[in-house]
Structure 1
Amino acid sequence: MQYGPAVRRRRLGAELRALRARAGLTSGQAARLVGWHQSKVSRIETGRSGVKPADVRLLLDAYDVREPELHELLVVLASSDDDGRHHWWHAYRGLLPPAYRDFISLESQASTMRTLENSVVPGLLQTPEYAREVTRAVVDGAPAGKVDALVEVRLARQDVLRSNPPLRLNAVLDEAVLRRSVGGPEVMAGQLRHLREAAQRPHVRIQVLPFGTGAHIGLAGPFVIFSFPNTSDLDVVVLDHLTSSLYLERKEDLQAYSEAFNSLQIHALSPEDTLDFIAGVADGA
């Protein structure tokens, strides 16, 4: 049984390994203290196996970890997939690669998502028609059934914007996102209308970077920053590539991308001006 997305298991394993070393214990000694086999400790520390919150507490007691905040952080890491309960995306396990399932899991747990997009509308803001055209392009030649299922996943992810409390979404879009014709005029008209409607929700903030802004730090590529309730120590930056995703959790990486996003927001149009700008694009301006 896996108890969290891979990025969380690796982070938790590394933290527990460091605490065991701080306590001056080998993995075999730690296992004997808690009544486990040494291989279980090794699997947890390498992120190959999940661990229940109760087992994390057992290890922390064995390692004489007394810092309350550290206790809370590691238990939250172990609980990051709701103790192994199955979620809607598990029905698509045969279709979705592990990195995508990890992304959806993080998205479902996050309180805030900051995203820069240079090419396409963010998945959480796509209409069904737009999502279908993007999916067809990305999985060129895939059978219709696979395309249908991937679009279902894309649309199901949008439930985080309707949950209670909803995910807070801050999106900065390059003007190219609005100008690129995906699916033809009718699909784009519906997508631009949907963006304007979404932008008026209190928990959704959309800003456009017009071409007139010139070169900006976001030209290095799109990224997503997930933030979580209660502690910033769980924040994650996600960089998407064609065949994989890279997860960054080091504080210096998080700070660099947070500063980059803040800079992009400063240079982008205000949310109010963005609404007018999207309307202008829709009208052919």
Structure 2
Amino acid sequence: MQYGPAVRRRKLGAELRVLRTRSALTSIEAADRVGWHQSKVSRIETGASGVKPADVRKLLDAYGVDDTELRELLLALAGSEDGGGRHNWWHAYRGVLPPTYRDFISLESQAGGMRTLETSVVPGLLQIPEYARAVTRAAVEGLEDDKIDALVEVRLARQEVLRGSPPMRLSAVLDEGVLRREVGGPEIMTRQLVHLVEAARLPQVRLQVLPFTAGAHIGVTGPFVIFSFRSTSDLDVVVLDHLTSSLYLERKEDLKAYVEAFNALQIHALSPEDSLDYIAGLATGA
């Protein structure tokens, strides 16, 4: 179990080690190609030290990696400002975003898929502005209006991943309590439910409701997110949110356990079609 930056370093290093091995180079030979000491390559591969985007480019070039998507992903994990052409827009909000939230957004912006269980609120990628504002105000009491505005802007900007090319694939299981909890008042909640129905019709979104009648289930321990990446499954990670921080689970056994848990939740939840009808019924008061 690690915090975001440590996970990024370890996963980046492990992937670079795999790429070096595929290129049939030893760590000494790789270091010679880029003009470094072998110890620097070893520190990078073990995640013992951070690595600059420029150094990642050198290694990728030395290993003959020309997969554009993979290069973008690894540069983003290294903290690249351009990410291969994608500006890390959230840097403009450093003053209001805690480091763990920036790490989350960084992973989200590069992920090809996201599976999430939500037990309290609508997923951030599916929130309307008014709902996002109400959630933010409740979660961080006493925050000035301008900072709330900035956090809402960030929440809405994050939603661009669903409209990218290609878009992120979002699969969400929502506990019924998410839909029944009146956030921001009845009018805002109704608009939020209508928005969920619209979002559920997008081909890249799969939305399922876990009804109260499902009883106790594996998700009662709390919400979680699983990020998966198009270029390599070795970078997949589970994120657990807490009040003041986020924890990132990277071990294969942890990933396997959470993927199996999510699959089980999908089985117990209403089908996507029935879920859409259910949410629409709540929105209209039917």
2:240 counterpart residue number: 239
- Relative distance call for 1:192 and 1:40 in structure 2 (3 A) is same
- Relative distance call for 1:40 and 1:55 in structure 2 (3 A) is same
1:9 counterpart residue number: 9
- Residue correspondence of structure 1 range 21-100 to structure 2 within 5 A: 34-36=34-36, 44=44, 45-51=47-53, 52-57=55-60, 78-81=74-77, 83-85=80-82, 86-100=87-101
2:213 counterpart residue number: 212
Pairwise CA distance, 1:241: 0.8
Pairwise CA distance, 1:38: 8.3
2:182 counterpart residue number: 181
Between 31-40 and 159-168, the greater mean CA deviation after superposition: 31-40
Specify the SS of the correspondent of 1:206: strand
2: CA distance, partners of 1:275 / 1:190 = 15
2: CA distance, partners of 1:38 / 1:94 = 38
1:121 counterpart residue number: 122
- Residue correspondence of structure 1 range 220-235 to structure 2 within 5 A: 220-235=221-236
1:190 counterpart residue number: 191
* Cα contact 1:56–1:78 (8 A) shared by 2: no
2:138 counterpart residue number: 137
Specify the SS of the correspondent of 1:224: strand
2: CA distance, partners of 1:15 / 1:167 = 22
Between 101-110 and 9-18, the greater mean CA deviation after superposition: 9-18
Specify the SS of the correspondent of 1:96: coil
- Relative distance call for 1:117 and 1:283 in structure 2 (3 A) is same
Runs (4 or more) in structure 1 with deviation over 4 Å come to 14-20, 22-25, 29-34, 37-43, 57-61, 71-77
Offset from partner CA, 1:73-111 (integer Å, 9 cap, x none): 996763235843142111111221121111111111111
What TM-score does the superposition give when structure 1 sets the normalisation length? 0.82
- Relative distance call for 1:47 and 1:174 in structure 2 (3 A) is farther
1: CA distance, partners of 2:5 / 2:162 = 21
The residue identity in structure 1 corresponding to 2:75 is: S
Pairwise CA distance, 1:230: 2.9
Pairwise CA distance, 1:32: 7.7
1: CA distance, partners of 2:161 / 2:182 = 27
Aligned residues: 270
1:64 counterpart residue number: none
Structure 2 unpaired stretches of 5+: none
2: CA distance, partners of 1:250 / 1:144 = 40
More relative contact order in 1 or in 2 (CA 8 Å, sep 6+)? 2
The residue identity in structure 2 corresponding to 1:56 is: L
- Relative distance call for 1:259 and 1:49 in structure 2 (3 A) is same
2: CA distance, partners of 1:91 / 1:72 = 26
The residue identity in structure 2 corresponding to 1:168 is: R
1: CA distance, partners of 2:56 / 2:69 = 11
* Cα contact 1:125–1:158 (8 A) shared by 2: yes
* Cα contact 2:173–2:266 (8 A) shared by 1: yes
* Cα contact 2:34–2:59 (8 A) shared by 1: no
Structure 1 unpaired stretches of 5+: 62-67
* Cα contact 1:8–1:80 (8 A) shared by 2: no
The residue identity in structure 2 corresponding to 1:80 is: A
Pairwise CA distance, 1:279: 2.1
1: CA distance, partners of 2:124 / 2:142 = 21
1: CA distance, partners of 2:134 / 2:190 = 14
Offset from partner CA, 1:14-60 (integer Å, 9 cap, x none): 6668989x9697xxx99788544789658744243434333334887
Pairwise CA distance, 1:275: 1.3
* Residue identity (%): 68
